[in-house]
Amino acid sequence: MKARRTRSQEQILTVLADLNQAISAQNLYVKLREQQHTMGLATVYRALEALKLEGSIQVRTLPSGESLYSPVQQDRHHLTCLQCGKSMAIEQCPVHDLEAHLNQSHQFKIFYHTLEFFGLCPRCQGEGEGEGAVSC
């Protein structure tokens, strides 16, 4: 049985559902203020944590440590450049079968998964050429 959501949690879910991208807690706070929702930043963080624990939102952490929040139904995966921070969505998901297997074999209720690859985008690769670029 799901716990009853607070008004703040409902407002946050509404804003997240209206966006077409993941958003940081700070930017979410700004959006809520723009829509005349009066809640503090600490309330935003508490509500996001509660929504994450119930499986209603997912969190993606960037290399900078910043967390981005979005509704769970957005199954997006990314290629993220470690130099410029640009993030490109990967449309196909190669781990759905694995998720279903783990869900069944371990009786583990999976809310969402993330898949992120880190490296250098084409532009940053080009900038590094001839400047002692690091190679693996």
User: Does 95 share its domain with 30?
Assistant: no
Tell me, yes or no, whether 64 and 87 share the same domain. Answer: no
Q: Is residue 81 pLDDT above 50, yes or no?
A: yes
DSSP state of 106: T
Residues 24 and 84 in one domain: no
Q: 60 and 17 share a domain?
A: yes
Tell whether 42 and 83 lie within a shared domain: no
Residue 12: the pLDDT is 96
Residue 131 confidence (pLDDT) above 50: no
DSSP 26: H
Please state the pTM of the whole predicted model: 0.67
Question: Does residue 13 surpass a pLDDT of 90?
Answer: yes
| Percentage of residues in the chain having pLDDT higher than 70 | 88
Same domain, yes or no: 69 and 114: no
Q: Which DSSP string corresponds to 39-98?
A: --HHHHHHHHHHHHHTTSEEEEE-TTS-EEEEETT---EEEEETTT--EEEE-S-TTHHH
Q: Which is more confident, 135 or 102? A: 102
The whole-number pLDDT of residue 93 equals 81
Average pLDDT, the chain: 85
Write out the residue range of the structural domain in which residue 123 sits: 75-136
Do 65 and 123 share a domain, yes or no? no
Instruction: Find tokens 């203020």 and name the residue.
Output: 33
Taking 80 as the threshold, does the pLDDT of residue 127 lie above it?
A: no
Non-local CB neighbours of 32 within 8 Å, separated by 6+ positions: 11, 12, 15, 39, 44
Whether 81 and 93 map to the same domain: the answer is: yes
Residues 6+ apart with CB under 8 A from 19: 31, 70
